[in-house]
């Protein structure tokens, strides 16, 4: 538990142990926000409606990418699915095992290492499409996922449409990103919890049109989406 960059792992550990737990998110323009760590442990009834609806689309063997404390993987395991939770945080996976998840794997979404046709469904909930980082990296990751997901299999990719805001602070950040030659929703950020701090990293928010463009020539096709009343949505990406 001494690793200083494993912010999310420590946040989940503290939440699981019943303590006060929240992250401080810092964007590279100075914008600050907070995130309640208890949401990593949310039960099915507390999930966003579109995530609950997306469970009807899950089939076969499942990988929960960036599984965190295992809220999705554990739910699916209880429903009888063969599911693996993958996360870069050893401490998060320790929480998963403590909560009863049987199959976990240490690894990064940006460096997936599974055999061909390992899964039929990949989950990217909790805004985890953002883990793909940027356009070039996203295409590379999606091509690798095309190999590990069976033909006809799906990725359920949750994100926020960055254009669904009128906040002048966020709109100014969009303009800054355009000047830098980046997608408006490509965020440079770091996260803090107590004495722990991540390095700076990229997090990708995209519109539906941008997601459709990103998946072109990766072996996937965006066949639809599950939409909320706000900017949150889940893209349905089918392996063709």
User: What would the pLDDT profile of 41-93 be if each residue is shown by its tens digit?
Assistant: 999 999 999 999 999 999 999 999 999 999 999 999 999 999 999 999 999 99
The answer, yes or no, to whether residue 3 has pLDDT greater than 70, is no
SS3 readout for the chain: CCCCCCHHHHHHHHHHCCCCCEEEEEECCCCEEEEEHHHHHCCHHHCCHHHHHHHHHCCCCEEEECCCCCHHHHHHHHCCCCEEEEECCHHHHHHHHHCCCCCEEECCHHHCCCCCCCEEEEEECCCHHHHHCCHHHHHHHHHHHHHHEEEEEEEEEEEECCCCCCCHHHHHHHHHHHHCCCCCCEEEEEEEECCEECCCEEEECCCHHHHHHHHCCCCEEEEEEEECCCCEEEEEEEEC
Q: Looking at domain 25-239, which CATH architecture does it have?
A: 3-Layer(aba) Sandwich (3.40)
Spell out the domain ranges in the chain. 25-239
Tell me the pLDDT of the chain averaged across its residues.
96
Given this model, what pLDDT does residue 1 score? 36
């Amino acid at each position: 538990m001494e690793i200083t960059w494993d912010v999310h792992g420590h946040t989940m550990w503290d939440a699981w142990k019943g303590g006060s737990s929240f992250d401080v998110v810092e964007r590279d323009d100075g914008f600050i926000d907070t995130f309640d760590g208890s949401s990593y442990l949310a039960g099915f009834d507390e999930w966003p409606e579109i995530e609950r609806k997306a469970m009807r689309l899950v089939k076969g063997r499942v990988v929960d990418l960036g599984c965190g404390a295992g809220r999705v993987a554990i739910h699916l395991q209880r429903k009888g699915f063969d599911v693996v939770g993958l996360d870069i945080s050893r401490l998060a996976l320790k929480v998963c095992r403590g909560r009863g998840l049987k199959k976990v794997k240490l690894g990064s979404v940006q460096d997936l290492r599974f055999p061909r046709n390992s899964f039929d469904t990949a989950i990217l909930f909790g805004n985890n499409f953002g883990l793909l980082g940027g356009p070039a990296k996203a295409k590379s990751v999606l091509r690798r996922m095309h190999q590990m997901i069976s033909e006809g299999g799906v990725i359920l990719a949750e994100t926020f449409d960055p254009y669904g805001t009128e906040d002048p602070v966020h709109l100014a950040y969009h303009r800054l990103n355009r000047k830098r030659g980046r997608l408006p929703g490509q965020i440079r950020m770091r996260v803090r919890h107590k004495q722990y701090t991540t390095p700076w990293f990229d997090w990708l928010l995209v519109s539906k049109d941008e997601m459709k463009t990103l998946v072109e020539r990766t072996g996937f096709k965006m066949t639809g989406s599950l939409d909320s009343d706000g900017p949150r949505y889940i893209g349905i990406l089918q392996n063709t």
